[in-house]
Structure 1
Amino acid sequence: MKQTESLSEVHQSVDTGKRTGWRRILSFIGPAYLVSVGYMDPGNWATDLAGGSKFGYQLIWVLLMSNLIALLLQSLSARLGIVRGLDLAQASRNAYPKWVNIPLFGLAQTAIVACDLAEIIGMAIGLNLLFGLPLIWGISITIFDTVLLLFLMNKGMRKMEVFIVSMVFIVGISFLVEMFIVEPSLKEIVKGLEPSVLSGQALYIAIGIIGATVMPHNLYLHSSLVQTRKFERDDKGIKEAIKFNFIDTAVALNLAFFVNAAILILAAAAFYKNGMHEVAEIQDAYKLLGHIFGGVAPSLFAIALIAAGQSSTITGTLAGQIVMEGHLNLRIQPWLRRLITRLLAIIPAFFTILYFGNDALSGLLILSQVVLSLQLGFAVIPLIHFTSDKKEMKGFAIKLWVKILAWISAAVIVALNIKLVIEEISGWATATHGWYIYGLIIPVAVLIGLLLMYVFVYPMLNSSTIQQKNIPHGNAMAIDPVDQIHYTRIGITVDFSKNDLNTIRHALIQGGKKADYHLIHIVETAGAQYHGKAALDHETLSDSENLKKYGQNLADLGYHGIPHIGFGGAARAIAEITKTNDLQLLVMGAHGHKGLKDLIFGTTVDAVRHKITIPVLVVR
């Protein structure tokens, strides 16, 4: 059966019902910490360092506002997952037409790639600072953290959360020590909490901070991760789960805020105060920390950077899986989707280093966070619609004052993004009159704007349609009286191993003595691959003899066996024999490979199943 739960591998894997008191509260703690690491990734570092070194303490209020918005939206995301048992992507698939979900997936995937790009650059810079490894090599090494993700997924949700929290702890401790070293001015920090008008470079960095803090893919992630907790689905259980998850979210996001504020304050105290207003690059910050403070300050900085990048990579991968399964109802192997996302992120990083040099990476980091911010509206607007829907959320729909705050937050994010897009396009148009500005960039920006408007308006006009479509697979159908099926042409794949006896026994049960049994074996030697039926090597001759023995054995028992030797690729050859002999049922023995062996030797059963249209009985 196809799994429909979000992150089905770990769905309801943490049982909260058997615990009491503090242990019960602690059993809900975890999902928000996985989400919070996204607020402490290298992308945040870049925007915070740029903001602190260029504008001192002036942008602390933007950080605080972003954190409050993130807290509000993450609590809505958790509520959606707890009450409806759907993640944000699944809810979008049920609520919007199919054609809308495709660009929504594309935009969410772009945000995840942009986030992954930040992790790659951060990890590469951290390795470069600590060990002197060239950035191009550091970027290449980040491909292999896929293995770490698979290892943690196999160990279960709790162990993954412990790993993430330990990474967050390393980052927090590192910056706590840094704060004692730089000794910032408390008076100026308090003054920085006062809102100010933003424009030009300050607006660009502020929007980067918002994108880096209120990450769109984290809204998808949180709505899924809360479903890893198993609790009673009555009103009391749901209310309790919402309360405990809000506590989890508040604590985790406030910790993330203090880490981000520490980075911005560090940049303001160490660089802006000393007249170094252009320290937007992580490498420069590392070097200057060494020059100004010496000791362990730069090493702590680099260790925290690697920890932040590694933990954020894992949560980004989970978000990618949720987005693909939710919007497109498409599931692929976690290692493959991780590899695809990573390669999509590595390509721009490689291109930037090769053509613009190492110094351009910092600009790419900040751009990646601006891309995140531009995608926020497409996640935030549906989230507010879904959690406001009284038909679906019943008594757990958000209150009016929460809805007003949420729509104000969405309006602020969208308005700032629109202002930035207009400013950027105007700047490009003034600097260059290239055809692509008017022929490509402006039309694409208009289309994305129209899509955002559609996403906003559609749920208000089609609430009845949403109610009807909110079914994962469709309705159960009536089962008519079933006649017994008599198979007369049954295929049996054999490989002359100890598994053959069980495979043949199951096949004989299906057809009895009235059926013809087509014994199929494929020769896969290099000679067979090249010469096909003309191959007469030792293995081919030996296998032919063995197949005849099986046929004779069946004849002695009163069954009719017909031998078939195939050559070359097993799946293709089996499918060919099946179609040529018009078989009605194929019985195959499973090879029993797991994990790495499946990767190396492949899965013949799956490959055959996709090439034929008859039933396949798989025997272990």
Structure 2
Amino acid sequence: MVTNDLAAPTASPLQIARARGRVRGRLILLGPAFVAAVAYVDPGNFATNSTAGARYGYLLVWVVVVANLMAMLVQTLTAKLGLATGRSLPELCRERLPRPLNRVMWVQAEFVAMATDLAEVIGGAVALYLLFGIPLLPGGIIIGVAAFAVLALRSRGFRTFEIAIAVLLGVIVLAFAANLLAADSDPGSAMSGLVPRLQGTDSVLLAAGILGATVMPHVIYVHSALSRDRIPAADDAERRTLFRGQRADVLIALAAAGTVNLAMLLIAAATFHGTAIPGTDSLEGVHAGLGQTVGTAAAFGFAVALLVSGLASTSVGTYAGEIIMQGFLRRRISLLLRRLITLVPALAILAIGLDPTRALVLSQVVLSFGIPFALIPVVAFTRRRDLMGNLVNHPLTTAAAVLVAGLVIVLNTFLLWQMIGG
């Protein structure tokens, strides 16, 4: 009897995914960028974009659009880094940088994670106060516990966590879409806002704030880890296929986040610009103003979106802390302890009664400080063929990335100087 000793070839994970069907095979490639996109619609964005619309109408529409394009480039490079190297950015820093510098990178990254959580917990607590009248400190505790529940979904796999975050992002998109329709903004004036121009020193500062806050360092760490943990590539051809999927993921997710940011500005321009409504530079003021001008439903939608934003963002921020410690130090702590470490500063600020909007501003100072530590290594690593293989940057891509990184770093340095000096 003749037997065939040749084993049948084993299908690669990508081939198995494709075997699920054309639609399901493509959908399974999506997810990591939706987690990253949440950082672009966090509570800090709510106040910044609303202030831009209230003060200058549609003048700074172009700034929001440019900021979103910059974010797409940065997150595409970040996803490519994890996919090509099989390492997260913190892991690559540990392997490639001198030990003292790596420790400095870790310390600043931990502060970034805490500052991120501070902003998101405070934003979520403000939302609970607006919706239910819950005082800020108990509200912060509720947000912290609820975020822990979202994080616990990772025990069922990264896919479940990604889907949960994508659903929360979808709620934010729907809330602002409904409010935009109710606000009756002027499409013609909105289109005119695409022409780059500024109006006085204050508009320059606000434009710098929108652009400078485009890149959140913690989502660079997270996105590189999520793309690393996706479907492993069997060869260069599969790696390119997976990168195309990651690129589509970034375009879809960041387009959704950009739409929300644009809607924030358009709603404020249509309802607040040219009026005497006070307090539109704070979350509470925007909520009250929407209730006065558009209606109770609009104010409710704003508060719900703020609550969902805080919940989703703080979950991602805590996850970033885990990625940071694991990558830079090759150590892990329990999720509960990690949650407590990042939650305590936010609760302390709420307990002493510091103004929530002021606390959000202070958190942005820390995030601004962390920008170069995340951006520079991403650009440096993705231009190296020995690391990236066939996914190495095209020279024009590197040039664009250097330009974007330089612009973001300069703007954040400018904002940092303004905040400290002012």
Q: Quote the Cα distance in structure 2 between the aligned partners of 1:170 and 1:94.
A: 39
2:346 matches 1:379: no
Whole-Å separation in 2 of the counterparts to 1:333 and 1:14: 35
Closer/same/farther in 2, CA of residues 369 and 116 from structure 1, 3 Å limit: same
In the alignment, residue 382 of structure 1 is paired with which amino acid? P
What is the CA distance between 1:206 and its match in structure 2? 3.3
Q: Are 1:170 and 2:186 counterparts?
A: no
Pairwise CA distance, 1:14: 12
| Residues 147 and 314, structure 2, Cα contact 8 Å, conserved in 1 | no
User: Are the aligned partners of 1:13 and 1:157 in contact in 2 as well (CA < 8 Å)?
Assistant: no
Task: Report the 3-state secondary structure (helix = DSSP H, G, I; strand = E; otherwise coil) of the residue aligned with 1:272.
Answer: coil
Of Structure 1 and Structure 2, which has the larger fraction of its residues in helix?
Answer: 2
* SS of residue paired to 2:242: helix
Where 1:16 maps in the other structure, the secondary structure is helix
The 5-angstrom pairing of residues 193-592 of structure 1 reads 193-196=194-197, 201-276=202-277, 278-351=279-352, 353=353, 356=354, 360-425=355-420, 427=421
Contact residue 122 and residue 346 of structure 2 kept, 8 A: no
Matched, 1:124 2:125: yes
1:59 paired with 2:60, answer yes
Describe the superposition over 1:364-415 as per-residue Cα deviations: whole angstroms up to 9, x where unpaired: 2233234323321211111011000112212221000100000000111122
CA offsets per residue over residues 253-276 of structure 1, 9 Å max, x none?
Answer: 011000011011111211123244
Partner of 1:179 in structure 2? 180
In terms of Rg, which structure is larger? 1
CA contact (8 A) 1:59 1:192 kept: yes
Distance 2:153 2:14 in 1: 14
Whether the 8 Å contact between 1:388 and 1:398 is mirrored in structure 2 is yes
Aligned residues: 410
Residue identity opposite 1:291 in structure 2: Q
- Deviation string 1:137-166 (CA, Å, 9 cap, x unpaired) is 212323323540353122222222222122
Instruction: Using structure 2 for the length normalisation, give the TM-score.
Output: 0.91
AA aligned to 1:126 is A
Deviations 1:520-579 (A, max 9, x none): xxxxxxxxxxxxxxxxxxxxxxxxxxxxxxxxxxxxxxxxxxxxxxxxxxxxxxxxxxxx
**Equivalents in 2 of 1:350, 1:146: separation in Å?**
19
Distance 1:77 1:199 in 2: 35
Q: Contact 1:208 / 1:369 at 8 angstroms: preserved in 2?
A: no
Q: Secondary structure at the match of 2:197?
A: coil
What are the superposed Cα offsets for residues 226-265 of structure 1, whole Å, 9 maximum, x if unpaired?
A: 1232233301110001001100110100110000110111
- In structure 2, what is the equivalent of residue 41 of structure 1? 42
TM-score, scaled to structure 1: 0.63
Question: RMSD of the alignment, in Å?
Answer: 2.2
Aligned pair in 2 of structure 1 residues 382, 279: CA closer, same or farther (>3 Å)?
Answer: same
Following superposition, the deviation at residue 201 of structure 1 comes to: 4.2
Any conservation in 2 of the 1:208–1:367 contact (CA below 8 Å)?
A: no
Point out where structure 2 has 5 or more consecutive residues left out of the alignment. Answer: 1-12
Q: Is the 8 A contact 2:282 2:357 kept in 1?
A: yes
Is the Cα contact below 8 Å between 2:38 and 2:313 reproduced in 1?
A: yes
Q: CA deviation at 1:176?
A: 0.7
Q: Structure 1 residues 73, 339: closer, same or farther in 2, change over 3 A?
A: same
**What does residue 144 of structure 2 align with?**
143
Query: Which one-letter code corresponds to 1:128 in the other structure?
Result: Y
Deviations 1:63-99 (A, max 9, x none): 2121111100111111111110011111111121111
Residue 319 of structure 1 deviates from its aligned partner by 1.1
| Distance in 2 separating the partners of 1:364 and 1:15 | 48
Write 1 or 2 for the structure with the bigger share of strand. 1
For residues 233 and 363 of structure 1, the distance between their equivalents in structure 2, rounded to whole angstroms, comes to: 50
Gaps of 5+ in 1: 1-11, 429-620
Between the aligned partners of 1:78 and 1:219, the Cα distance in structure 2 is 8
CA distance, structure 2, for counterparts of residue 276 and residue 94 of structure 1: 54
Q: Assess, with a 3 A threshold, how the Cα gap between structure 1 residues 15 and 85 changes in structure 2: closer, same or farther.
A: farther
Partner of 2:25: 24
Check the 8 A contact 2:365/2:419 in 1, yes or no: no
Please list the CA deviations of residues 481-521 of structure 1 after superposition, one character each: whole Å capped at 9, or x if unmatched.
Answer: xxxxxxxxxxxxxxxxxxxxxxxxxxxxxxxxxxxxxxxxx
Q: How far 1:15 moved relative to its partner? A: 6.8
